[in-house]
Structure 1
């Protein structure tokens, strides 16, 4: 049984307070095909669902175009701004350039955007031992240096980088209540609460730089040799704290992988900045497990749960403010 509209709204608010309401329009391959053809000159031959995240359902059309359908009405997601940024990014890895933006489209209640498909497999599908972490760390460190030193690319300012953590801290019991006792034991829940209790919300003021804003393993693409080939989904780009872009990497590989990336990055985090990375990474771990569990996506649930357990094992009985070591 699916979530009710009220449940969906509570979940959206719970994970990200920017969402206002859920769009209750069921999508199917047939429905997506009709929407694409009604809003463009494309003749649709094939459609398949690529995936579903917190913000979008994504469909691959004609094995060439990815179309994203927002799951919620949002005042902050701006496909036109994302399109402008995608045209200006000059990175040493591929970035999808938005080609289609349909405001008030036929058949859907929110703006639909589309970009040319980038081939690759997301890092989310690999375990650490399957990847040359030194090589990938070097590639990501270089790309983040390029991104964070880029000028002349407009972006809104992230007024409070701690806003998400404040919300999670206030609603932590409710959030953990969305996971069954089989998913998290009592001791693991205690570890999570202890980690949040340690956090002092003491992220120092720092230079705002252009950031991806949601650089998780699911947005990092690898080629057949398991080398970096692209970074997708720039819908959350903003001018903000550079270390927000490291939280998703911590979720995937913990302190050790972050250290590999930072070895090739010009600025090293302070103890308080690394604490921010870890607690944001833990939020990413938990929200991913909730998402795939509520979607009843068994293929993604197991790896998401495994990553959460790995990070909990790493942080158990450890200080949130310990210095980073490889």
Structure 2
């Protein structure tokens, strides 16, 4: 399985210390420590309640900018906490991109609890998507790999390549062929989180959702991308509660749920084949593929 892409800029404690001293001196003397590392960002905890986010690649440098611009506006309508920028760093000679310091949402990632333990927040997450999936601004960020149609050759080729390594390849591809060609989304583009998997859902560890993080993939488009979380996050019981909550108001039609299953399969394969440096995301991928294989074609 592939490793994370090489960083364009090496982000270490010395660089973080220099940037804080230069641009946010009131934060420079607070304790700090490496918090998390992903394909796109390096995260450092500052003091007890802050997280500094530093893009590690030019290809992902706009993601923090998206969060800084849009999260203060979107948070007003959401009924769960999302990270809010308390400081925005500017590009400099030492570091070429925008970086940010946001509040730390307390809790544990839902990827660290069992799927059965996530059932408790199924309705909460459905309600959060009720609030999020509203018509997006005309100048919303563009994202070529989220909120778009999966009925494209580039997606089809990747799914087939990734599925080929699984004993259940035929069953996976039968579902992909059926779901990825569901009727296309023809509604008004809505706000889409774009990366709504358990690692980005924060809980209190006792069945309550306390926040949604990592909004860098934020875009406008088909809500099916986010609704894939029904299979990424929940087991059959949690998924039933989640889908029934959304179906109660007629928010989601059958074609959208079909596209959501295609997104779940697509994302599940990504996590199951490209997360060698993240056991939690690998487990999300394995869980997702098991869930979609339990669905009839």
TM-score normalised according to structure 2 size: 0.81
What root-mean-square deviation, in Å, do the aligned CA atoms of Structure 1 and Structure 2 show?
Answer: 3.1
Equivalences for residues 152-171 of structure 1 within 5 A: 155-156=140-141, 161-162=148-149, 166-171=153-158
Please, which of 260, 279, 292 is the counterpart of residue 262 of structure 2?
A: 279
User: Counterpart of 1:171 in 2: which secondary structure?
Assistant: helix
Q: 1:83 to 1:31 in 2, by over 3 A?
A: closer
Q: CA deviation at 1:73?
A: 1.7
Q: Which has the higher contact order (CA 8 A, sep 6+)?
A: 2
CA distance in 1 between counterparts of 2:32 and 2:272 reads 27
**SS of match in other structure, 1:292:** coil
Question: What residue number does 1:197 align with?
Answer: 177
Give the structure 2 partner of residue 69 of structure 1. 54
**Structure 1 residue 100: Cα displacement:** 2.5
CA–CA distance in 2 between the matches of 1:102 and 1:291?
Answer: 31
Question: What is the rounded CA distance, in whole Å, between the counterparts of 2:273 and 2:20 in structure 1?
Answer: 30
2:20 maps to 1:36:
yes
Q: 1:152 to 1:282 in 2, by over 3 A?
A: closer
- What is the match of residue 307 of structure 1? 287
Is 2:213 the counterpart of 1:232? yes
Quick one: structure 1 residues 300 and 140, their matched pair in 2 at CA, closer, same or farther if it must change by over 3 Å? closer
SS in structure 1 at match of 2:233: helix
Counterpart CA distance in 2 for 1:263 and 1:125 is 25
Structure 1 residues 104-161: Cα deviation after superposition (integer angstroms, max 9, x where no partner): 2343333222211111111111112224x1x412211222112224787962466871
What is the correspondence of 1:145-224 to structure 2 with a 5 Å cutoff? 145-149=130-134, 155-156=140-141, 161-162=148-149, 166-176=153-163, 185=166, 187-198=167-178, 199-200=180-181, 202-224=183-205
Aligned to 2:250: 267
Whether the 8 Å CA contact 1:262–1:268 is kept in 2: the answer is: no
Q: Give the equivalent residue in structure 2 for 1:11.
A: none
Query: What does residue 112 of structure 1 align with?
Result: 99
C-alpha contact 2:203 2:210 (8 A) present in aligned 1:
yes
Deviations 1:237-260 (A, max 9, x none): 222222322113321225653432
Determine the C-alpha separation between the residues in 2 that align with 1:304 and 1:216: 8
Asked if the contact 2:199/2:281 (under 8 Å) is kept, the reply is no
1:155-192 Cα offsets, whole Å, 9 max, x none, are: 24668711596422123344457xxxxxx54x223333
1:56 corresponds to = 41
CA distance in 2, matches of 1:143, 1:114: 24
Q: Is contact 1:210-1:238 (8 Å) kept? A: yes
Deviation at 1:59, TM superposition (A): 1.9
Distance 2:288 2:29 in 1: 39
Task: Verify the 8 A CA contact 1:140 1:261 in the aligned structure 2.
Answer: yes
